[in-house]
Amino acid sequence: MDDRSARQLAYDITVATGALLEGLGMLSENLSRLQRGEAIAYPDSSFTELIERTGMHHNSIVTRWRW
């Protein structure tokens, strides 16, 4: 693995970790609201938007890594 690939991999892992933490926070808020009998804060589209915004979907990753 060359230096450029190593940096790209480190970047992708960092972004994926951030997206995972953000998604878990959104899920946690939704579950808390449901337990209190309130409407959810984040519908399914919010999770889809998170994946798109962070580029953590299949096509984006394949394009970056040129598989």
- Tens digit of each residue's pLDDT (9 = 90 or more) over 11-51: 999 999 999 999 999 999 999 999 999 999 999 999 999 99
Conformational region of residue 63, where left means phi above 0, alpha means psi within -120 to 50, and beta covers everything else: alpha
The pLDDT value given to residue 10: 94
Q: Residue 63's pLDDT is what?
A: 87
Higher pLDDT, 67 or 33: 33
Total domain count, the chain: 1
Domain span at residue 54 reads: 3-65
> How far apart are the C-alpha atoms of 63 and 35, rounded to whole Å?
41
pLDDT band at 4 (very low <50, low <70, confident <90, very high): confident
